[in-house]
Amino acid sequence: MGAHKRPSKLSKAGAASALTLAAVGATVLVPGGAAEAEASSVSTTALSVAASKQGSPYQWGATGPYRFDCSGLTLYSFKRAGKSLPRTAAQQYNGTNHIPRAARERGDLVFFVSGRGIYHVGIYAGNGKIWHAPKTGTVVRLERIWTNNVLYGRVD
């Protein structure tokens, strides 16, 4: 029977499960990879929350859920994703893991710098764009990053 032995039902089920995972694009976590997957999930959720606030009016000092300033939008978005951030853009920068531009990913924070200070923050959406609450008289929107004077931070 050796070479002609039929696969057991268990091995068929295992192969089917692997094929199903491959077909639906599921991710298999490896030991030590859970923290990275969790951080990615948090950032993706925060990005989705920020995008869902498109059109919400800017209001200085507002932290949502209907009006936002720049750091209020990031604070609100990450809070909904299960992470807490400090209140201001500068405090948020100090509370994140600083990363180089080449390592930025969707959901990372983008901090705008003038002189030695941070004056604005948004959530990186990919393709050189951010979700942010720009200034008085505007609304939460997706916009191209307009300067190279930015720093990046990742929320863990």
Q: pLDDT, tens digit, for every residue of 3-39?
A: 444 444 433 344 443 333 333 333 333 444 444 455 6
Q: Active-site residue 95, yes or no?
A: no
Q: Based on the number of CB atoms within 10 Å of its own CB, is 30 exposed (0-12), middle (13-18) or buried (19 or more)?
A: exposed
Q: What is the pLDDT of residue 40?
A: 72
Among 109, 106, 105, 107, CA closest to 96: 109
The catalytic position among 42, 46, 50, 70 is 70
Q: What is the pLDDT of residue 124?
A: 98
Which domains, from first to last, does the chain contain? 33-154 (3.90.1720.10)
Q: What is the pLDDT of residue 32?
A: 43
Among 44, 4, 39, CA closest to 154: 39
The catalytic position among 53, 104, 120, 154 is 120
Gap between the Cα atoms of 43 and 103, Å rounded: 14
Q: Active-site residue 70, yes or no?
A: yes
Q: What is the pLDDT of residue 22?
A: 36
Q: What is the pLDDT of residue 39?
A: 60
Q: What is the pLDDT of residue 37?
A: 54
pLDDT at 147 over 50: yes
- The structure's pTM equals 0.76
β-partners of residue 58 are: 68
Handedness of CA 21, 24, 30, 35 (dihedral sign): negative
Q: What is the pLDDT of residue 31?
A: 42
The catalytic position among 132, 140, 154, 155 is 132
The DSSP letter of residue 6 is P
Higher-confidence residue: 150 or 34? 150
Percent of the residues in the chain that have a pLDDT greater than 70, as a whole number: 75
Q: Active-site residue 98, yes or no?
A: no
Question: What average pLDDT does the segment 112-127 reach?
Answer: 97
